[in-house]
Structure formats: structure tokens, C-alpha cells
Amino acid sequence: MKVFTKLLVTLLVICIVLPVYSQEEPQPQAGVNLKVGENFYFEGNINDSANDDKEESMAEIQKTPFYKSTWFITTCAVIVIAGAAVGIYYGTRTDEPNGKTVEWDNK
Amino acid sequence: MKKMLFLSLVFSVLFALVSCDSGSTGDFRISLKLPTDNGNCQDFEYDDEMKGDYTYCINKNDQVLLSIYSKSDVNEDYVYADRKLIRVDSNKNGKEEFTRSLKKGTYYRFFVEVTNANEKLKMTGGVDGIYYDDTKNYSVDIFLSAVGDFTRVVRDRTNPDGTALESYVETDGAKGSAAVTLKNGDVFMAGGYLFDFEEVSNKAMVFDMAKLTSKEVRKLEKPLMDFVAAFVDDGTEKGKVVLGLGREDKETLNDQLWYYNPEKDSYNLLPSIGAAVEKAKAITIDGAAYIVGGCDSNGNGTTGIYKVSFVNGVPSVEPFGNLKVGRCNHALADISDVEIDENGVKTVTPKFAVVGGSIDSKNEGAETPVTGENFIEIVSEGKVEPLSFSSRNGGDDSNLMKTGIIAPSATAITMDDREESEIVIAVAGGYLRDGDSESDYKWVANPSMVVFSKNSGATKKNHKKDETDTGDDDPADTGDAEPADTGDDEPADTGDEDPADTGDTAIDTGDTEPTDTGDTATDTGDTEPTDTGDTGETPAPVSNTAWVYDVNTSPKSCARPSMAALGSEEKSTFKYAVVNCGTSKLERDKRSISNQVIFVLQVKRVKDSDLGVEVFSSSVKDTLMEGNVDVESDARMADGPVVSNGLGQVYALGGKYVYLVGSYAIP
């Protein structure tokens, strides 16, 4: 049981450390600021739309860090709840976990 | 959101960490360690009980009884606290909770008894002086040894050579080492002449019997052999060891005394007794040590008796009396008067017997034994008197007073099978001059076991004849004014009612104990000419002495044994003592060393109905160890000490290994 608890603690530490240290410094915005009503021309080959999609997709990913992702929050929530449950279980137990035992081995 | 998540995670981590710690203390795990066997324990079937020997196993249908004793003050006596009976349901292993709680700040003693399906006691073991604090976890080993038999102490039975409890003594063993049991059950051993190194050793070692480990501790201030060592209770958890005197090397004797402090691992000098002596003896009675006799650098026996004790933590060495005959190579037996009042307060009046020995110290075979009426002297506060004794017919059939015994072993055994307990003195081994004349004799290892007891039967019978009763006036009367109970109607009486028995020194009383594994002692034959059984007349006066002895022959002759009483069942007609035999040769050189022989002496009450006297006969109990030696061991020795602990367990030392004899019960 102690191994299991330690594992939980380790995971929790990872959950804390990774989000904190994985945040990147905000980068200055690149590109062109457009205002409403301004005209602009797109120069280039219209057939390059595939590359545009790719860039757009990358931008989407960069916009949502993984610690905000559903899977990460769900995992951490599960770990938090499990950790709390373990803590409550052991914290509220009145007798010792392994108790006073006598054992032998006939080997 | 991020901060919330972070905080909740930190909170969870802290909670989990706290929870990890909160339940991890206060545990107490006892691991039962078994003696080495032939590996067939797990193959046990109930029907096999009669086919093989499963003494060293905890098998299905066996029962493990764990008794718990406690005390809140280290200087109090233990009181019974709880017990747990475990019915074993597997041949492989087992684990059970033995109690819900232990009390913080309390000293605990655990005693384990293993019985088989027929409720025959197979093994016992225990530990002492465990101070429980619920902020810590405990893991304690209890080595179980066969009851009334010896086994080598090992931590892991599957690896006896690698995990055996070993001393600083190598394969060829030692002579003249000493050992003491501390108050917490640890065993201290030191000194001796080591044959492997051919030198007197200054090594010292403590065996932790709750962890089954040994550790070399601070070396003695000087190399010592044939020195004294005894436990002294100073009120601390472990107590102290008083040690000193003895021989430093071939030329030099030591006149200094120290006490060893096991908690600080240090030696402190004690006031000198003013004489350098060797082969003195020491005994512990009611927490104080008594050092008796010894032979000086001229080889002459000395008479001094000194008491070493601690009063309010301060050590003192004070004279306690003088023997009538200066001696060394003797043995001591504690025969103190113990009274317990209605409030349970115990009062001990120290009294001990000084048995045999020599009046000088020379090469073996050239010594002069203590003979005559001073063969045994009784020492008590302000009084030293010779013990008057005889064989059962009033003579001295074994010529004890004529030949004496040099270097015997002795111990006192309390026989409590009657309403009034009585103390007997068992003596075994040593060496003596065998021959009728002063010129025609040879030195032999004493093959006899002698049990001295108060001459209750004779006294009672002779009361009827009045004029023959001189027992009360005898100066050797050791103060027991109580009329002796000869107990003719006592069911425990194993008396020999055979009218054909004419009062042999060692009568066969018939062994009625169902668990007895058979006597191996042999009848010493008709050494008494007295035939009083068939004349129809009043039996001849048995004795006008205070004590009477009975002699049986031992299958093993031990030249310099040591002996200690083994914890025996209360009210049993049988009591036991352990003899650490050593070599049977008189010489103490390397050529004379032998395997370590250990045997258990069984003492029982017998009645000579013809002579109207009760005596106590002794025999050697059977052992599972072939020839009374550990055949798996290549270790040998010349002689070694034997010590008992508060659980009645006895350890035999002096060789490479430590051997434990399981007690029948806590004394």
C-alpha cells in the first residue's frame, strides 16, 4: 500500500511541476495587424491552401497548452481524488496499518 | 483556474504525505526463527507425526501460544498481560495479529510456545526488555529452540552457516572465557584463551537476541582468561557487567576489577580487592555480584568473598566474608532464601554454596582438591559454614569428602512439586583422583552427577527416635527450620516401592512422565552395603547430617563444565539444568579440545522407602543432536560458559557458535 501511495505522490508532483515549468514566455505577435475596412491583397498561389491549413492547425495547438487539455485535467483530477481518498483512509484510521503481528516461515 | 489547480494539487500532495506517515509507526512484527532441519517441514502430513521428527517445524494442526508480559518500570518484575493462541493451518508459513495494541512507554517480554497436535511442547523462545514507543516500528526475531534440547542459533534456517550467530572464537575454540546475560536479554561474552590465535584474548562481544546479531564491542582493558564476570543491576535498562581478576598471560595475573557499561560501551575501574587471582568465581544474587576465592600468583587458594553492587548508581566493592578454605576451580550455586509477603514484595536473603575446587592452582593433575567437611561451604550474610552432608545411608559412598572434585559445575534447582519448595544443588563433572590410596591413584574426569538436598526424610523419621535427630543442632543447618515434608501420600512421589531395592545410591525410580524422552543415565550400582529392607527392624539411622546426596552416572564426562538451571514447568516433579560440557580431558591444550558437548540434566525426587529418606536423582535427557554434539559444526572447544536469561532459556557459549536450550516455562 505504501508503494501505491508513493506512486500517487510522485504522479501528483509531476502534475504540479510540469504545468508550472512548461509555460512559455509570451512571444511578441508576428504578422500584420488588420483593421476593419482595410483592403488587403493576398499575394501568392491559391493552391498553397494546404500549407495555410497546416499553419492554422499549429496555431490552434499552440493556443491550448496541454495542461489545459481535457485529458490532463481529468488525469490530475483522478489523481487528486485518489490521493485525497488514500489520505482520508489513512488519516482517519484508528489502528495501525500493519498492527502487531507474529509470523513464521517453515521453508 | 491555474492557481486553483496548483493549490489543490499541493494540498493533495501534502495530505498524501501526511497520510503516508500517520499510519506507519507503532507496528510490532515478531518473526519466529526456527532451527535448522532436514528441510522436510513443508512435506508434513498429519499421519506423518509418528513417522518422522518434526520438532523443528511449525506445522498444520500445531499451536503457537504467544504470552505477553509487561512492566512500566524497568526495575519492576514482569506481570502477565495477554496471550494469543494461534492454530496453525498451513505447513508453509503463517502470519497473525497477536494483539490490537501495546502500551506506549512499557517494557515487554514475549514468550512463545509451540505445541504439536497432541499438545506436546516442541519449541520455545522469547525476548525480553523490549521498550515500546508507538512513534517507532519494531521488528523482533524470536529464535525457537527445542524444549530441553539445544540447537544452534541461526537467523535463517536455510543458510545455517551464513546466518549462524557467531562469536569471536574461531574453529578451535577457547578456554577460560566468560559470559553474562544483560537485563534486556542480550548476552555479553569476553576473553578466554583462543586456540586459533594461541593467545589470551581481550575481545568482547554482545549478542543481540532480539535481532539475532552479534557485535564486537570495546575490547577488555586487558586480555583475560579464567576471570570473573557477573551481572550487576544498577537500575538501568541493561544493567552492568562486573568483570576482572584472572590471567593476562602465562606469567601475569590481574588484580583489577571493572564494570562494563553496555549503553556507553565503556569499562570503568572498580576499587581493587587487593589481590591478583585467577579461577575465582562470581555469582549474581538479587542484582549484586559476589566474587569468591581464586588462586594467587603463588598458586595458593584465597578465601576472600566480595560483594559488588550499585547503590544509587554508585558502584561499591565490599568484603562479604571469608571461606574457611582458600580455593579456586570451584563452583557456586545460589541457594538464597526468598520470601514474598502478602503484598507481593519479594525479599531475598543472599546465600550460596561454594562447591569443591582446589586449594592451589598448578598444572592439571597436580592440584590439591578441597576435601573433608569443607568440601561445600555455605556463605550467607556474616556467616560461612561447612555443609554437613552424607549419602543416603549416612556415609560418604562416593568419597566426595575424600577425593573432592576440582572444577565441577553446580547450580541450584528449586523443586516446587510439593507445597513447600525446596532447593537442591546439582553438581556435575570436574575431575578427581580416582584410587584408594594416596600413592595409587589416577586423575579422571568425574563421570558422576550428584544432587544434594536437605535431609528431610531422615530428619522426620529420626524424630521418632529422638536421640538420633541431630539435624536441628547441626551447625551446617542452613537455616531452614521448616519441618520437611516427606510426603508419603503425595501423588507426585515417584518413590520406589520395590521391597527388593536395598537402597542403591542411584535407584531406578521408574520414569512416569509421559513426555519424558528417556533417561540415559546409568545406575551407578550397589555402592552401599547397607541392606535395611528385609530385617523387619527399624531402619538404621539414615544420617545425622543436614544434607544428603545421590549420585548417578553421566554418559558424558566433562572435565570443566559449566551449568545453569533451565526454566521448568511449575509444580513439575521434573526440573532441568543445562551442562556445557567441554572436553573430557584434564589438559587444556589444543590437543585436548573436542566438539562442544551440551546436555540437559533432569532432576527428580525419589524415595528410598527402606531407609525412609527422599533424595533427588539425576539423569541425562535424550537429545535430537546425535552424541550431544552439533554434527553439522566443525567447531571445537576446551571449555566455555553457560548463561540463562529471565525467560529460563539457556545459552551455551565458548565456541564458534551460540547454542540455545529451550526452556519448558518461564521461571
User: What is B138-154 written as a DSSP string?
Assistant: EEEEEE-EEBTSEEE-B
Lowest mean pLDDT among B104-108, B281-285, B377-381, B391-395: B391-395
- Say what the pLDDT of residue B102 is: 92
User: Cell 540455545 maps to which residue?
Assistant: B660
Query: Residue B333 domain-assigned?
Result: no
Query: Is B132 a member of any domain?
Result: yes
- Cβ pair A106:B19 closer than 8 A: no
pLDDT of residue B284: 97
Q: Examine the pLDDT at B24 and tell me if it is beyond 50.
A: yes
CATH code of the domain covering residue B74: 2.60.40
Burial class (CB in 10 A: 0-12, 13-18, 19+), B260: buried
Residue B186: inside a domain = no
B85 in contact with A at a CB cutoff of 8 Å? no
- Candidates B8, B27, B93; nearest CB to A105: B93
In a domain, B131, yes or no: yes
Q: Which residues of A touch B (CB under 8 A)?
A: 2, 5-6, 8-9, 12-13, 15-16, 19-20, 67, 73, 76, 79-80, 83-84, 86-91, 93, 95-107
Mean pLDDT of B25-48: 82
Q: What average pLDDT does this structure show over B408-424?
A: 94
Q: pLDDT for B558-580, tens place per residue?
A: 999 999 999 999 999 999 999 99
Pull the grid cell for residue A95.
Answer: 489502528
Average pLDDT, chain B: 84
Note the pLDDT tens digit of each residue in B304-318: 999 999 999 999 999
For the residues B338-346, what does the mean pLDDT come to?
A: 87
Inter-CA distances, B449 with A47, B66, B124, B506, B507, Å: 116, 35, 26, 10, 13
B92 touches chain A (CB under 8 A): yes
Q: Is the pLDDT confidence value at A3 over 80?
A: no
Query: For position B440, what pLDDT does the model report?
Result: 80
Question: pLDDT value at position B459?
Answer: 41
Torsion of CA B577, B580, B583, B584, to 10 degrees: 0
pLDDT tens-digit series, residues B145-173:
999 999 999 999 999 989 999 999 999 99
CA distance B180 to chain A (A): 28
Give the closest residue to B134 by CA, choosing from A1, A102, A104, A98.
Answer: A98
Closest alpha carbon to B532 in B461, B603, B580: B461
pLDDT digits (tens, 9 = 90+) for B417-474: 998 899 999 999 999 988 777 778 889 999 999 999 998 654 443 333 333 333 333 3
B238, part of any domain: no
> Is 70 exceeded by the pLDDT of residue A16?
no
Residue B235 in grid coordinates? 537500575
In a mutagenesis test of the B interface, which of A18, A68, A75, A106 is the best target, namely the one with the most B β-carbons within 10 Å? A106
**Residue B514 has what pLDDT?**
35
**Extents of the domains making up chain A:** 1-16+66-93
- Whether residue B336 is predicted with pLDDT greater than 80 in this model: the reply is yes
Pairing status of strand B376-380 against strand B314-327: unpaired
- Measured distance CA(B567)–CA(B153) in Å, rounded: 18
Which of A16, A79, A87 is facing B15, going by the closest CB pair?
A87
Q: What percent of chain B has pLDDT over 90?
A: 68
Q: Chain B partners of A12 at a C-beta cutoff of 8 Å?
A: 9, 12-13, 16
Q: Give B503 or B634, the one with higher predicted confidence.
A: B634
- Burial zone of A10 (CB within 10 Å; 0-12 exposed, 13-18 middle, 19+ buried): exposed
Sign (positive or negative) of CA dihedral A80, A83, A87, A88? positive
| Closest CB to A102 among B2, B66, B91 | B66
DSSP, collapsed to helix, strand or coil, labels residue B575 as strand
B402 compared with B472, residue with greater pLDDT: B402
Domain boundary at B605, B622, B639, which? B622
Q: What is the least distance, in Å, from the CA of A33 to any CA of chain B?
A: 30
In tens, the pLDDT along B183-204 reads: 999 999 999 999 999 999 999 9
- Edge to edge, the sheet with strand B281-285 lists B281-285, B288-292, B302-311, B314-327
A18-71: pLDDT as tens digits = 555 555 455 555 555 555 555 555 555 555 555 555 555 556 656 677 777 888
pLDDT score for A68: 76
Q: Do A100 and B97 touch (CB under 8 A)?
A: yes
Residues B509-564 have pLDDT tens digits of 333 333 333 344 433 333 333 333 333 343 343 444 689 999 999 988 999 999 99
pLDDT in tens, B582-615: 999 999 999 999 999 999 999 999 988 888 888 9
Query: Using the beta-carbon criterion (under 8 Å), do A90 and B22 form an inter-chain contact?
Result: yes
Q: What is the span of the domain harbouring residue B556?
A: 403-438+445-622
Q: Which of B7-11, B73-77, B291-295 has the highest mean pLDDT?
A: B291-295
Q: Which residue is closest to B140 within chain A, CA to CA?
A: A102
| Strand (E) or helix (H) holding B586 | none
3 state DSSP class of B27: coil
pLDDT digit string, tens, across residues B221-237: 999 999 999 999 999 99
User: For the sheet containing B63-71, what is the strand order?
Assistant: B79-87, B63-71, B106-115, B121-132, B145-146
Taking the model in full, what pTM does it have? 0.77
Q: Does the beta-carbon distance from B93 to A95 stay under 8 Å?
A: no
Chain B residues 260-279 with CB within 8 Å of chain A: none
Q: Which of A7-16, B26-35, B435-444, B650-659 has the lowest mean pLDDT?
A: A7-16
What are the pLDDT digits (tens) for B482-512?
333 333 333 333 333 333 333 333 333 333 3
Residue B321's pLDDT band, with cuts at 50, 70 and 90, is very high
Identify the closest residue of chain A to B91 by CA–CA distance.
A106
